[in-house]
Amino acid sequence: MISVFVYGTLLVGESNHSVAAPYVKSVRPGTIYGRLFDVGPYPALLLTEGDSQRHVVGEWLEVNEEGLQAMDALEGYHGPGASNEYERVWIRDVSGLREGWVYIYPTVKGLKEIDGSSWKTYNAGRSK
């Protein structure tokens, strides 16, 4: 199984979860060090490993290789060194108990930072 930390539209109940859902073997809550930014219909993640004050809550999905490929396609990830919309990097949960892949946006310059650590909370507030 492959662990992937999701924090935006791939979360259970969000708009793109159906892409991963057929391949998900388990879902566990998680938290990583980072900051979220608003790209419009989805968030961007900036990792902040050295800043323990900033964190992002999400879920660890356990998927098979087909699930990882489906998420790669959604995130525009074509492999190391390719022209990717998102990069896929290895990350560890703040608890130290889980590690796996996460998709990060290459630049957050000019994007509005999301107040808080949860895309679900932020997105629910935007639609009111």
What pLDDT is attached to residue 76? 95
Instruction: Please say if 75 is a catalytic residue.
Output: yes
Which is catalytic among the residues 14, 49, 65, 75? 75
What pLDDT is attached to residue 127? 63
What pLDDT is attached to residue 51? 65
Under DSSP, is residue 46 helix (H, G, I), strand (E, B) or coil? strand
CATH of domain 2-126: 3.10.490.10
Q: Where are the domains of the chain?
A: 2-126
Q: What is the full per-residue pLDDT of the chain (128 aa) written as tens digits?
A: 999 999 999 999 999 999 999 999 999 999 999 999 999 999 999 998 766 678 999 999 999 999 999 999 999 999 998 999 999 999 999 999 999 999 998 888 999 999 899 999 998 887 65
**Cβ neighbours of residue 67 under 8 Å, at least 6 residues apart?**
2, 4, 20, 22, 23, 24, 61
Rounded to whole angstroms, the Cα distance separating 23 from 37 reads: 27
pTM over 0.85: yes
**Residue 24: other Cβ atoms inside 10 A:** 17
What pLDDT is attached to residue 50? 67
What pLDDT is attached to residue 108? 87
